[in-house]
A and B are shown apart, each in its own frame.
Chain A
Amino acid sequence: MGFDWIFAGELAINGALSGLMYSLIGLGIVLIYKSSAVPNLAQGALAMLGAYIVLAFFDGAGIPMWAAIPLGMVVMFGVGTGIERFTLRRMAGQPIVMILMLTLGLDIFFHAVTLTLWGGTNRSLSYGIPDDAVEVAGMLIDFTYLAGGIIALILVAFFTYFFKTRKGIVLRAISDDPVASWSVGISVENGVGLSWAMSAVVAAVTGVVFGAIQGVDYTLALLLLKGIAVAVLGGLDSVLGAVVAGVLLGVLEGMASGFLDPLVGGGSKDLVVAGAIILTIIVRPHGLFGREDIERV
């Protein structure tokens, strides 16, 4: 049997598109890490919360989808600000294990809040993209994946631009040296709060994009591992790295599920994701595009 190029191409393209969507969740982690060096392990739960909030506006309040999504993003902006204001700000100066545990606690908390309020049954969410596929040169490409990939690219382009604006430069200064930025009059708290808020908004978008594909339920929170893989592979403080790593991971994952799954009996996606994290950390801990930290004794 010859190598099935069409099948491989289809896997690669759909993998790259879902990879672009993974870069959304990686982007959320990167945004926070970039400004405050806090790895947000609650990003998956935030995505889940965002999707449920959008659904609550749409189903519960009967607001049309084009208005429900921005409303959800506004609410998530508030949630992000609140998280920073009431938890992370008080943790400044604590050892990193405490901060990691705090974000894990937030993850458990938001996970439980969402399920307590809205229940665990899978619900469908659609933002107007037909659940259909287009055929390009014999390869089937899903519209929902295509739309998700495009949204991801738009967001990444926006944040790349954002970090060149005045506000973005302020955030970069904070990430470079919080104490020095403080001394020149930058409000570090507001900057970090803003980055949490932006990350929560990105999480809402992530939730909607993935919710349109797999439905809205607790599995959205499991995206966290892919987000970590993307963020670590691309470099925890690199927006561009998140895209490249996302595409890379998506293609690898697609190939693995296409060619390895029949051999090992399924589930090789998870292995690829975990393997990407481990290999990156052992070979090049700062990732593809991240900045290497030099430790002073």
Chain B
Amino acid sequence: MFYRQAGVHHSNYKTDSALFPIPFDKWSIYTMLALGIFAPAIFGSFALTSYLLPWMIWAGAALSLNLLIGWAGQFHFGYAAVMSIGGYTAIHATLAGIPFEIALILAGLMSMVVGVIFGAAAMRVKGLYLALATLAMQFVVDWVLTHVPAIGGGASATLQAPDMTLLGFKITSEVGYYYVAFGWLLLVTLFLLNMRRTGFGRALVAVREKDYAASILGVNSFYFKSVAFAVSSFMGGVSGAILVFCFYHAVTPEQFTVNVSIQLLAMVIVGGLGSIIGSYFGAAFILLLPGALNTLVAYVSELLGLQIGIETLAHLPNLFYGILIIGFLLYEPLGLAKVYDNIRKYLMVWPFGYSKR
């Protein structure tokens, strides 16, 4: 239907190896891009700041984590800690009078350093033990944030984000914040789209599939694991800084607890490991669905005249959240990306479903 192959004939190599063999793919991406650019004009202020903006920032963070888990196959159960380093570094740097652009890069570099320390565990172990080590490091970072006043500003303190000036523009409006997040997401997406096809990306996939085998083929698996941790942490740190500056406007340790790490992991896994569009879907799904379900439950209970306590209502979204994660792992382990792919493949030959590609 939409993804038509009919009428798409390749008569030379140039069109056959084009970026988008299916015209609909090209047009859908142009449409999404246009929607992203003109979103402030289309959507209201509420939808922009409470749905689109967090979605874009978290999608960027999920993509950064996906680079590590989905492509390099290295588990990271403490990604929120890496993001928190970025957030805190950016705040401290801008408070010290460093321009925001440089503060962002500093945030990335600082997260990179910490992230490589996280990755040092990958030198020794992998799989389960790496997951547990990174989980433990999350708690160490949490502890440092709450107990070192020079970083966290004292016990459970909140550091306000100063005004940000990006490339000479003072950014104070909601629209401005939105474009910063949108620009960053665009950069991350473009980077990942291209990384997949470079030697670096291929090496990461080789390491993911079997690190010993990759070493035998001449891919220095330790080097690529470290680089994957470094690159992913850099991106995670900048995402954290943007999250703090554009969305929260302040930073506290509670924004980056272990639950946030698990949430990010859920975004990546529910979205689909190693899938870019999957991370978009996953971020939207995990961010928006619990709230939507909560509204639904409140509506249904009102409709049926049920008396549901405030406390029950408060915990129901978490209940659905758990069920969703379990359900996805059981019934569609490849995630939303696979669901999308199934729909796409079905529509590609619609209505001639019997002519399997």
- Which A residues fall within an 8 A CB radius of B? 39, 87, 90-91, 94, 96-98, 100-102, 104-113, 115-116, 119-120, 225, 228-229, 232, 264-267, 270-271, 273-275, 277-278, 281-282, 285, 295, 297
Cross-chain contact B140 with A281 (CB below 8 angstroms): no
Cross-chain contact B319 with A112 (CB below 8 angstroms): yes
Dominant secondary structure of chain B at its interface with chain A: helix
Interface string of B15-40 (1 = CB under 8 A from A): 00000000000000000000000000
Task: Note all chain B residues with C-beta closer than 8 A to A100.
Answer: 75, 77, 128, 131
- Looking at the complex, which one of A39, A94, A273, A275 makes contact with B128 (CB distance below 8 Å)? A39
Cross-chain contact B69 with A97 (CB below 8 angstroms): yes
- Looking at the complex, which one of B137, B269, B309, B325 makes contact with A278 (CB distance below 8 Å)? B137
Closest chain-A Cβ to B164's Cβ sits at a distance in Å of: 32
Cross-chain contact B322 with A108 (CB below 8 angstroms): yes
Cross-chain contact A281 with B132 (CB below 8 angstroms): yes
Task: Note all chain B residues with C-beta closer than 8 A to A111.
Answer: 318, 322
Cross-chain contact A278 with B326 (CB below 8 angstroms): no
A-B contact pairs, 26 of them (CB 8 A): A98-B269, A101-B265, A101-B329, A102-B329, A105-B266, A108-B318, A108-B322, A109-B319, A109-B323, A112-B316, A112-B319, A115-B315, A119-B309, A120-B311, A225-B135, A225-B139, A264-B147, A267-B146, A274-B136, A277-B133, A281-B124, A281-B129, A281-B130, A282-B121, A297-B213, A297-B216
Cross-chain contact A87 with B330 (CB below 8 angstroms): yes
Instruction: Using A101-B269, A285-B125 as known contacts, say yes or no to A270 and B323 having CB atoms under 8 A apart.
Output: no
Instruction: Using A274-B143, A278-B140, A281-B133 as known contacts, say yes or no to A106 and B269 having CB atoms under 8 A apart.
Output: no
- Tell whether B155 is near chain A: CB-to-CB under 8 Å: yes
Cross-chain contact B319 with A91 (CB below 8 angstroms): no
Known: A97-B75, A98-B269, A119-B312. 15 other contacts (CB 8 A): A39-B128, A94-B333, A96-B128, A97-B131, A112-B315, A112-B318, A112-B321, A119-B311, A120-B311, A265-B147, A267-B146, A270-B142, A278-B136, A282-B124, A285-B125
- Looking at the complex, which one of B135, B155, B265, B322 makes contact with A109 (CB distance below 8 Å)? B322
Cross-chain contact A112 with B322 (CB below 8 angstroms): yes
Report the bound CA distance from A228 to B315 in whole Å: 26
Report the bound CA distance from A277 to B77 in whole Å: 14
Task: Note all chain B residues with C-beta closer than 8 A to A297.
Answer: 210, 212-213, 216
Interface hub of B210, B212, B311 (most chain A Cβ within 10 A): B311
Report the bound CA distance from A1 to B131 in whole Å: 44
- Tell whether B291 is near chain A: CB-to-CB under 8 Å: no
- Tell whether B219 is near chain A: CB-to-CB under 8 Å: no
Closest chain-A Cβ to B311's Cβ sits at a distance in Å of: 5
Task: Note all chain B residues with C-beta closer than 8 A to A108.
Answer: 262, 318, 321-322, 325
Instruction: Using A94-B333, A274-B143, A277-B133 as known contacts, say yes or no to A109 and B326 having CB atoms under 8 A apart.
Output: yes
Task: Note all chain A residues with C-beta closer than 8 A to B183.
Answer: none
The residue of chain A having its C-beta at the shortest distance from the C-beta of B319 within the complex is: A112
- Tell whether B127 is near chain A: CB-to-CB under 8 Å: yes
Report the bound CA distance from A275 to B139 in whole Å: 9
Cross-chain contact A102 with B326 (CB below 8 angstroms): yes
Cross-chain contact A274 with B330 (CB below 8 angstroms): no
Closest chain-A Cβ to B84's Cβ sits at a distance in Å of: 15
Interface hub of A94, A109, A111, A225 (most chain B Cβ within 10 A): A109
- Looking at the complex, which one of A119, A229, A232, A267 makes contact with B143 (CB distance below 8 Å)? A267
Cross-chain contact A116 with B316 (CB below 8 angstroms): yes
Cross-chain contact A98 with B125 (CB below 8 angstroms): no
Task: Note all chain B residues with C-beta closer than 8 A to A98.
Answer: 269, 329, 333
The residue of chain B having its C-beta at the shortest distance from the C-beta of A108 within the complex is: B322
Report the bound CA distance from A267 to B142 in whole Å: 11
Instruction: Using A101-B266, A101-B269, A105-B326 as known contacts, say yes or no to A273 and B321 having CB atoms under 8 A apart.
Output: no
The residue of chain B having its C-beta at the shortest distance from the C-beta of A222 within the complex is: B258
Report the bound CA distance from A237 to B120 in whole Å: 25
The residue of chain B having its C-beta at the shortest distance from the C-beta of A97 within the complex is: B75
Instruction: Using A101-B269, A267-B147 as known contacts, say yes or no to A277 and B136 having CB atoms under 8 A apart.
Output: yes
Cross-chain contact A265 with B330 (CB below 8 angstroms): no
Cross-chain contact A105 with B325 (CB below 8 angstroms): yes
Report the bound CA distance from A265 to B210 in whole Å: 45
Report the bound CA distance from A295 to B211 in whole Å: 11
The residue of chain B having its C-beta at the shortest distance from the C-beta of A83 within the complex is: B326
Task: Note all chain B residues with C-beta closer than 8 A to A91.
Answer: 329-330
Closest chain-A Cβ to B43's Cβ sits at a distance in Å of: 31
